[in-house]
Amino acid sequence: MSDANLSDRPSATDPVPVDVTPEPYDITPGFRFDDDPEEERSGPPSRRRLIALGAALLVGVAGAAVLGTLGWRVAQQKDATLTIPDQVAGLTLDGSERAKTTADYLRNGFLADIEVKQSIAAVYADPAKPEQSVLLFGGTTLMWQPEQDLDRLFKLVADDSGRIDELREQPSGELGGVLKCGTSHQGDALTVCGWADHGSVALAMFPGRTADEAAPLMLQIRSGVQTRN
C-alpha cells in the first residue's frame, strides 16, 4: 500500500535543514540571558524611581517645615500673662459689688470648662456710654489647638446665653493667634468676641455693640491685658 505523500518527505539520507541562531532564544520579554540582574540593580536609578524619591523627600521637608513653624509659634506664645489694669482701651474697671459678683460668676463658669494656670474676670465701664459695659474673662494655659479651645468656650457661653450666630474670624493683631466675634440673640443682641493663642484664651461680652464695633475694641483690650514673658 503506498502513501501518496511519502514522495514529498525527505529521505532518511537527505540532510534535514537546521535553523541555527547565533544566541539562545529570548523567552522573557525585555530579558537577555547575557544580562546581569545584579548589574541592573547596581546601575543608576530609573527616572520613575528618582521622581518617587524626590516626591517623598519634598513631603518630608514640607512636614518638617510645618512642625518647625508650629514649634516656633508654641515657644513664642506659650508663656502668656493676663492682668486687669484699672484703665484699658478707654474703659474703666468697675469696682462695684455688682460688677465683682458678675465677674466671679463668669470666672467660675469659665474654670468649670477649661483648666488654666491663671484666670481673670472683670467688668469694664465705658464712661461715655454707661449702658455698654464690657464683661471680660479668660486665663492662661498651654494650648496646642487654640482655635478648637476658643470654639469650645463659645459653646459654653451659648449654653448659658442662647445660640451665637454669625461667628466670624477677625484680625488678631500683633499678638497673633485667632480672634472671632459672633452675636448672641437671647434677649437683646449681645456681641461676643474671643481670642486664643498657644498661651491664653479669653472672651468678652459687648452689650449694645455690633461685631464691627466690638472687634477692634477687643484688640485694644487684649493689647492692654496680655503680655508675654
Residue 143 near residue 202, CB atoms below 8 Å: no
Assign 185 a pLDDT band (cuts: 50, 70, 90).
confident
Main-chain phi, psi angles of 58, to 5 degrees: -65, -45
Please state the separation of Cα 23 from the chain's center in Å. Answer: 64
* Mean pLDDT value of segment 70-79: 76
Which of 135, 172, 180, 175 lies closest to 154, judged by CA? Answer: 180
**Residue 11, exposed/middle/buried by CB under 10 A (0-12, 13-18, 19+)?**
exposed
State the pLDDT at residue 163. Answer: 77
State the pLDDT at residue 188. Answer: 74
Whether the pLDDT of residue 83 is over 70: the answer is: yes
Assign 58 a pLDDT band (cuts: 50, 70, 90).
low
* Mean pLDDT value of segment 82-102: 96
In sequence order, what E strands does 49-157 have? 80-82, 87-88, 91-93, 118-125, 134-140
Q: How many CA atoms lie within 13 A of 98 on its CB side?
A: 3
Whether the pLDDT of residue 78 is over 80: the answer is: yes
DSSP tag of 45: P
Assign 165 a pLDDT band (cuts: 50, 70, 90).
confident
Least confident stretch, 58-72, 150-164, 201-215: 58-72
Which of 179, 188, 177, 178 lies closest to 214, judged by CA? Answer: 179
CATH class of the 80-228 domain in this structure: alpha beta
**24-48 tens-digit pLDDT:** 444 344 444 444 545 445 556 666 6
The angle at the Cα of 99, spanning 215 to 220, to the nearest 5 degrees, equals 25
State the pLDDT at residue 42. Answer: 54
**Alpha-carbon distance values, 102 to 83, 97, 98 (Å):** 18, 9, 6
State the pLDDT at residue 110. Answer: 87
Better pLDDT: 199 or 161: 199
State the pLDDT at residue 4. Answer: 46
- Residue 32: all three cell numbers together: 537577555
- Residue 225: all three cell numbers together: 491685658
3-state helix, strand, coil in the chain (%, to 5): 40, 25, 40
Q: Radius of gyration over alpha carbons of the chain, in Å?
A: 38
Domains of the chain by residue range = 80-228
Assign 1 a pLDDT band (cuts: 50, 70, 90).
very low
Residue 114 near residue 151, CB atoms below 8 Å: no
As a whole number of angstroms, the distance between CA 51 and CA 153 comes to: 46
* Collapsed DSSP state (helix, strand, coil) of residue 16: coil
Whether the pLDDT of residue 169 is over 50: the answer is: yes
188-168-121-153 Cα dihedral, nearest 10 degrees: 100
* Mean pLDDT value of segment 175-179: 94
